[in-house]
Amino acid sequence: MSEVSARRTQVTLSIGMLLAALALWIDYPLATAVKIAFILIVPGGAIMQLSGLALSLFEFYALSLIMSLATSALLATAAVYLGFWSPSLIFYVLLGMTALLLIIDLWREGDRLDDDER
């Protein structure tokens, strides 16, 4: 991905995460669609974004989707096996994990810009 695409992706993922977090408390129109879109793309997108793998935009979003679903499947299966089945809790964990990854990404971006300025 080019640097511009990477920045755009970072912004898109962050907005997606914030809208999904909002959907937990406020039942606004399209809240369900936002939750589904979040589960489909954002957690995996945050992982792929941080990984820095050289991928085209198509490849990036396809792998983001697969990684998002895989991550959700892992958490949901753990909940089923460990006896704490709570979809809201799984969603909170996904949100927290994604937020953490996006913050690390922003932090690294800041460091990189500092290095460039020096």
Partner 1 sequence: MLSRLGVAIGESMQDHRRKHWRLAAILITVFVLWSFALVQADVARMSDFGLLSILPLPFYLSLLLLTISFSINVTKRRSGDGFLAVHVAALIVLLFTPPMLLYETVRLPWAWKHIGIVDYILRHGTIDTAIDVEAAYHNWPGFFALIAFVAELTGIERLSAIAKWSPLIGHLALLGILLLVFRCLIEDRRTIWIAIWVYYLANWIGQDYFSPQAFVFPIYLSVIGVVLAFLKASPPPHPKIGQGSLAGHWHLFIQTAVETEPGRRNAASAGWLVLILLVLQIAQTISHQLTPVAMTFSLLALYIFRRMQPLWPFIVAFVLFGLWINWPAGGFMALELSHLQQLAGDVLGNTSANIHDLSGLSDGQRLVAIISRLLTGTVLLLALAGGVMRLFRGRFDVSAALLVLAPFSVLLLHSYDGEGLFRTFMFASPFLAFFVACLLAGVTRHLSRHWGRAVLSTVLFLLAFCWLTAYYGNDNHTRALPGEIQAFRFLAERAPENSLLIEGSPDYPSRFLNYENFTYVSIVNEPQDSLDLVLDDPVDELGLWLDNRRYAATYIILTESQRKGIEALGLLPKGVFNGIKQALLQSDRFDVLFQNEAATIFTLGADSGG
Residues engaged in binding partner 1 (CB under 8 A) = 32, 35-36, 39-40, 47-48, 50-56, 58-63, 65-67, 69-77, 79-81, 83, 85, 87-88, 90-91
CB nearer partner 1, residue 14 or residue 71: 71
Residues 50/79, Cβ–Cβ less than 8 Å: no
Gyration radius of the chain over CA positions? 15
Closest CA to 95 of 79, 77, 71: 71
Q: Which is nearer to partner 1, 15 or 32 (CB)?
A: 32
Considering the complex, what minimum distance in angstroms separates the CB of residue 88 from partner 1? 7
Task: Report the alpha-carbon distance of residue 13 to residue 8 in Å, rounded.
Answer: 9
Minimum distance from residue 14 beta carbon to partner 1 (Å): 19
